[in-house]
Structure 1
C-alpha cells in the first residue's frame, strides 16, 4: 500500500508545486501567481506528500457558498497511485467544513483521465466553453457537483 498524506499548502512547497504545474499544463501558472494563492483569503489548497515529497496538489476558490476548483495536478512519475483521489477527498472535506454546497471546474475536452476522476466524485457535465484554452483554443467542459456529501 502506498502511504500518501494530504497537507495544507505552505510556502516551503512552492517550488515542488511549480515543477508539477510545469509538467502538467500547457499554460502553467507563474511562480508569482501561485505564491499569491498563499495569501488569497478565498483560496484553499492541499498538497499530497509521499515520503515527504510533494507529488500532487489541488486548489479551489471559495466564493459565497460555492467552490471553484482552480487546479489539480499529480507529478507524471506518481500518477495512478491515488493522489488524485486524495486531492478530491481533501477538497470536498474542506467544502463540508466551510459550508460550501457546490463545486465547479473547467476541464479540457481532451483530458479524459481528469474527467473520469471528476465523474467518479459525482460531477456532471453542465456546459461547454468553446475555445476556452488560449494555447490551442480547445473547448472546456464545465462540470458541477451540486450536492456535497
Structure 2
C-alpha cells in the first residue's frame, strides 16, 4: 500500500474500524514466537484458578494488532515512529475465539515534522482493552 501524503490527512480523519480475530491458535503461535509461555494464555484451568474468566490474549499481541492497523493505514510499518499504550483490560479468548476492534482518529497534524498523531481505541466484547493508546505516524 502506498503511503498517504500529509496533505491528504486532516484532524478528525478516522482510521478503521478494523476487526482483528484472535483464536487459541493465535495465542499458541504468539507464545512460541515471543517465548511467553505463561499458562494464562493457553490453560483454561490455570487461567480460572488465578481469577480470569478464561485464557487471555497476550497484552503485547493486542498492542501489536492495534499497531498493525495503524501501520496499514499509514501504508508502511516504518512510518509508525511512536506507539504507546496502557493495558486496561484483558482480551478473553474462549474456545470459539474472540475479536478486537481497532479504530482511531487523527488528533494532530504537524506539517513542520510531517507527522500526525492518532488516538487509537481498541475494544473487545464491547470493552476498551487499551488505554492512552497513541501513535505518531510520519506521512511525508
Q: TM-score range by the shorter chain?
A: under 0.3
Q: TM-score, normalised by structure 1?
A: 0.27
- Rg (Cα) greater in structure: 2
The structure whose RCO (Cα within 8 Å, separation 6+) is larger is 2
Structure 2 length-normalised TM: 0.28
